[in-house]
Amino acid sequence: MIDMNLIRENRDLVKENIKKKFQDEKLPLVDEVYEKDIKYREIKSQVDELRSQRNKLSDSIGALMREKKIDEANNIKKEVNEVNAKIAGFEVEEERLAKQIKDIMLVIPNIIDESVPIGKDDSENVENERFGEPVVPDYEIPYHADILNGVAGLDKESAGRTSGEGFYYLTGDIARLHSAMLTYARDFMIDKGFTYCVPPFMIHASVVEGVMSFPEMEAMMYKIEGEDLYLIGTSEHSMIGRFLGQIIDEDKLPIALTSYSPCFRKEGGAHGLEEKGVYRVHQFEKQEMIVICKPEDSFTWYEKMWKATVELFRSLDIPVRTLECCSGDLADLKVKSCDVEAWSPRQKKYFEVGSCSTLGDAQARRLSIRTKGEKGTYFVHTLNNTVLASPRALIAFVENNYNEDGSINIPEVLRPYMGGKEKIEKQTKKI
């Protein structure tokens, strides 16, 4: 959510930003909220004047009563009641306008950074940099589900019976590998100075509204029937929500956290769910990083965060690239974002395994997260980034570490988490 002062002082800037995001249908909202804000402030001023008038009248009642001027005191009491009635009427209108203004402001997109490339959708995202040599071996790399089945590591058939499409069982060494990658990612971030957290996996609607746009919520999140609770789509939601309504001492910034959670997503829409594989599923696990910092430090942290993910994947022998998200591909709260994509030797192309974003003070405004220092009280900036999300990272791992005989190599950094194993051997026996 942007600052209302920006609309008061520079509507053209806000409209130009909307055009850059190819959301022209939202352009009339800028003038509409501008007019409503004028009315709101006029009414608020009238209410403030009436309250001041009421206070003066109320003060005079006490003095008149002490002077035994009962009739005059009663007449002023009537005036106070009339003023109260006027205040009540204005307050209803004030509350109505405040809600309308908030609803519109939640829809107007955040101001994107000048460096963001302009484009309509993800097809116009721009490659930034590649890390590691993308290799295609001289033998065939099977589809990831076939690789996992080849080492007795995947059971989607049983998951279909228990839970339906979009769920899976991981078994044996693959289940262990999945956990090893997440645990390694946790320790990797702890070694970089991030504090490890395990957050709640359900949050209130007020927190959901604070961390994402309504269309995103409808497309992603599962609602708990009969309760004010949603299953999180990523731990960023509850991690940022942790600071709801807080004023953080400036000397405690930056706050750098890394969190583990399962994630739950509807994954509706045209792309659908994978019938055979585990690339697009309803449930997965993720190690995330979240930073809360001063505004002037947000882009420094943005660079540090995506670079940490690149370093992690390279340590797992996975080539990656970063892709700058264009204006039309940015969610409404984001200022700037890049995707980290892993190399698929089977598809001979890169695919998304994570995303790094700075949201400016948009989430902080919605959730009233501020800091206090010598310059006074002001909104913090929030950032988030995927450290490692599995099974997508698992897919990248098995494809890039697959051998012609069906076995999977274990890089040195993961071996301590795999009981010293150097390789997962091919097998057919399933539980």
Nearest of 240, 298, 253, 355 to residue 113 by alpha carbon: 298
Q: What is the pLDDT of residue 270?
A: 46
Longest dimension (CA), the chain: 105
Q: How many CB atoms lie within 10 A of CB 210?
A: 26
Structure tokens at 286: 């993720």
- Alpha carbons 405 and 131: distance in angstroms, whole number: 27
Indicate if the pLDDT at residue 262 is higher than 50: yes
Q: What domains sit in the chain, N to C, each tagged with a CATH number?
A: 4-105 (1.10.287.40), 122-424 (3.30.930.10)
Residue 93 amino acid letter = E
Instruction: Tell whether omega for the bond before 254 is within 30 degrees of 0, i.e. cis.
Output: yes
Q: How confident is the model at residue 162 (pLDDT cuts 50, 70, 90)?
A: very high
Nearest of 304, 348, 346, 343 to residue 320 by alpha carbon: 343
Segment 94-122 mean pLDDT:
95
**How many CA atoms does the CB half-sphere of 283 hold within 13 Å?**
13
Q: What is the pLDDT of residue 213?
A: 78
Nearest of 212, 221, 305, 205 to residue 257 by alpha carbon: 305
The secondary structure of residue 152, as a DSSP letter, is: T
Model confidence over 180-228: pLDDT tens digits? 999 999 999 999 999 999 999 999 999 999 998 777 777 889 999 999 9
Indicate if the pLDDT at residue 374 is higher than 90: no
Q: Where are the alpha helices (DSSP H) in 124-279?
A: 144-150, 156-162, 172-191, 205-211, 214-220, 235-241
Residues whose CB is less than 8 angstroms from the CB of residue 57 and which lie 6 or more positions away in sequence, other chains included: 76, 79, 80, 83
Q: Which of 205-214, 315-324, 326-335, 393-402 has the lowest mean pLDDT?
A: 205-214
- The pTM (predicted TM-score) of the whole model is 0.89
- Alpha carbons 5 and 335: distance in angstroms, whole number: 18
Backbone angles phi, psi at 127, to 5 degrees: -70, 130
